[in-house]
């Protein structure tokens, strides 16, 4: 395995192995610090985390690890022909921890990444120092069985229309498509930052070619994690917005009520988004639960 330092960044990158899956990781911060592992949502790569979240963690003495989920970024592309679930994504997380000799970490997951760290915490609790769950759910495939609302029809229709369009052919078109998606998920709490959205999209396109991951299918075929919530005893922070059209804020409230000692931070007007202004607002709470 080759570890390649990134220019002028203090980062290292490499590949972890989980069976036939290679997982591209990014590791930065003090090697002897407590470890924070950031697990991203569907279709999002490891570069799509704000420095406004990462830099304060490193400033607090933490080592920060990110990785591309299977099917996206520089990790192995599985494609639609191979079925996998959130449990498999949790196995990928474990493989990254094993590869980097991390016994336990502070796990932060958003959306599908939150489902991944929940599954990992239920199966490997001894390896989880704390959980931060950002606009996620324990039962997105079957929310109404637990009295929870599903995604808003309007946003599902907009996503389906985008998915049915021809894939962008140029980097410029790929960047524009990502900015359009960011605009779709912008709530009322923060003004939409077009400059940041374009910069994030450009970094993502430079990181890896356009892909259409099967993450949504993985989530929909995954069983509920509700029954295991009571077994989670590590410090837990739940962050959710009141305008999330994909995973309603009721899911965050449900999680916080069923995980012992969990703290809920509810953000009025936040949608399914994580811009720099949000990271500035939540970083103290995140560092507190990790402490």
pLDDT for residue 218: 93
| Residue 282 pLDDT greater than 70, yes or no | yes
pLDDT for residue 5: 37
Over the chain, what is the mean pLDDT? 92
pLDDT for residue 163: 63
pLDDT for residue 131: 98
The arithmetic mean of pLDDT across residues 35-53, rounded, is 96
Q: Give the CA radius of gyration of the chain.
A: 18
pLDDT in tens, 129-181: 999 999 999 999 888 889 999 999 888 787 777 666 677 788 999 999 899 99
pLDDT for residue 154: 85
Report the 10 Å Cβ neighbour count for 7. Answer: 6
Please, what sign has the CA dihedral across residues 253, 221, 21, 9? negative
The arithmetic mean of pLDDT across residues 190-201, rounded, is 96
SS3 call for 118? helix
pLDDT for residue 8: 34
**CATH code for residues 4-149+212-290:** 3.40.50.1820
Report the 10 Å Cβ neighbour count for 159. Answer: 17
pLDDT for residue 200: 95
pLDDT for residue 3: 38
The arithmetic mean of pLDDT across residues 171-192, rounded, is 93
Structure tokens at 216: 């949504």
Q: Which is higher by pLDDT, 85 or 145? A: 85
pTM as predicted: 0.93
Question: Pick from 43, 85, 94: which is nearest to 65 by CA?
Answer: 94
Distances, alpha carbon 205 to alpha carbons 7, 10, 74, 109, 242, in Å:
18, 22, 11, 22, 30
| Residue 110 pLDDT greater than 90, yes or no | yes
Confidence of residue 98 (pLDDT cuts 50, 70, 90): very high
pLDDT in tens, 258-267: 999 999 999 9
């Amino acid at each position: 395995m080759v570890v390649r330092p990134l220019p002028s960044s203090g980062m290292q990158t490499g590949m972890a192995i989980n069976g036939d899956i290679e997982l591209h990781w990014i590791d930065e911060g003090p090697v002897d610090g407590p470890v924070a592992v950031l697990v991203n949502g569907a279709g999002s790569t490891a570069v799509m985390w704000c420095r406004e979240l990462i830099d304060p963690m490193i400033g607090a003495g933490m080592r920060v690890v990110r990785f591309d989920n299977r099917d996206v970024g520089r990790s192995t592309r599985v494609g639609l022909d191979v079925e996998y679930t959130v449990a498999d994504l949790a196995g990928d997380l474990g493989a990254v921890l094993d590869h980097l000799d991390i016994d336990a970490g502070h796990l932060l997951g958003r959306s599908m990444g939150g489902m991944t760290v929940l599954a990992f915490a239920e199966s490997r609790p001894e390896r989880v120092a704390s959980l931060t769950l950002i606009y996620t759910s324990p039962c997105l495939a079957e929310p109404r069985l637990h009295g929870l609302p599903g995604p808003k029809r309007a946003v599902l229709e907009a996503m389906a229309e985008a998915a049915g369009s021809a894939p962008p052919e140029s980097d410029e078109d790929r960047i524009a498509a990502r900015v359009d998606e960011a605009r779709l998920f912008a709530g009322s709490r923060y003004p939409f930052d077009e400059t940041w959205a374009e910069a994030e999209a450009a970094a993502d396109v430079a990181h890896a070619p356009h892909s259409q991951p099967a993450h949504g299918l993985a989530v929909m075929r995954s069983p509920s994690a509700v029954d295991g919530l009571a077994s989670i005893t590590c410090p837990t922070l739940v962050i959710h917005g009141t305008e999330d059209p994909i995973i309603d804020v009721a899911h965050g409230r449900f999680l916080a009520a069923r995980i012992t000692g969990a703290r809920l931070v509810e953000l009025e007007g936040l949608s399914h988004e994580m811009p720099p202004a949000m990271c500035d607002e939540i970083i103290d709470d995140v560092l507190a639960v990790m402490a």
